[in-house]
Amino acid sequence: MADLLSEEIKTYEANFEALLGAHEGKFVVIRGAEVQGTFDNQMDAVAWGYRRLGNVPFLVRQVVKVDVPLSFVSNLLGV
Amino acid sequence: MPSFTAQIPNLQVLGPLVDMSLWISTPLEEVLKEARQSIPDPVAAKGMIDTGATGSVIHPSIAQQLALKPVGVVRISTPSSEDVPCYQYAVRLIFPNRVIVETLAIEAPLRGQQIQCLVGRDVLAHGVLVYTGYINQFTLSF
């Protein structure tokens, strides 16, 4: 995977404690070094991100204490 | 209730395959229209319903053809890999009978497969899947 959202991931990690304290369970929209907004719903966050930022890479991420990987039973993914 | 039914010659061997299309999400379509930018056509794809997939998956060529930009990164685990970061894209899944579901799909190579999309439990969470093995048929309703 290329590093298209590496800056946004760093921003999330740098702000994690504050985000967890204020917005646990919510979805944040991050572009570059800035947390742009928080939302109750993932698709609302995506829609807002497109409207606000346009068709550019941005990070929508749920603020959770433990980030559990998504599981796939089959090997169809090829990763 | 929107639904479609697929008849597969050998459902057990081939799996629940579906001819579908993938398209940009509605919010992105609205933004592109407003900005008077070109809107890519939907991309035809062979999909498979996968109850073992937490989320839906698209082949990288789909994201490329739709000029999608990632809106997330998730880590995934499979029987042969652990904690692999993958991009997420907002997409519209268009099934037969114009049954449409909007979701965030994960990008993965789907190597050695003839499918370009896995339809995972993020989609099934909204519907009813009826798998009628003895007549090689399945129905997905929402």
Domain ranges of chain A: 6-62
Of the candidates A9, A51, A71, the beta carbon closest to that of B54 is on A71
Contacting residues for B78 by C-beta, under 8 A, at least 6 apart: A71, A72, A73, A74, A75, A77, A79, B84
Token pair belonging to B76: 């995934």
Among A1, A24, A44, A2, residue whose Cα is nearest residue B90: A44
Residues B26-79: tens digit of each pLDDT? 999 999 999 999 999 999 999 999 999 999 999 999 999 999 999 999 999 988
Please name the fold of domain B18-122.
Answer: Cathepsin D, subunit A; domain 1 (2.40.70)
| Angstrom distance (rounded) from CA B105 to CA B70 | 10
Of the candidates A4, A55, A75, the beta carbon closest to that of B78 is on A75
Judged by CB atoms closer than 8 Å, whether chains meet at B48 and A76 is answered as yes
* Domain residue ranges of chain B, discontinuous segments joined by +: 18-122
The mean per-residue pLDDT over the stretch B86-102 comes to 97
Chain B neighbors of A1, CB-CB under 8 A: 73, 85-87
Count how many Cα atoms sit within 13 Å of the Cα of residue A47 in the half-sphere of its side chain. Answer: 12
* pLDDT at residue A1, rounded to an integer: 60
* pLDDT at residue B132, rounded to an integer: 98
Residues A31-73: tens digit of each pLDDT? 999 999 999 999 999 999 999 999 999 999 999 999 889 988 8
Question: What is the dihedral angle through the alpha carbons of B111, B100, B86, A77, rounded to the nearest 10 degrees?
Answer: -20
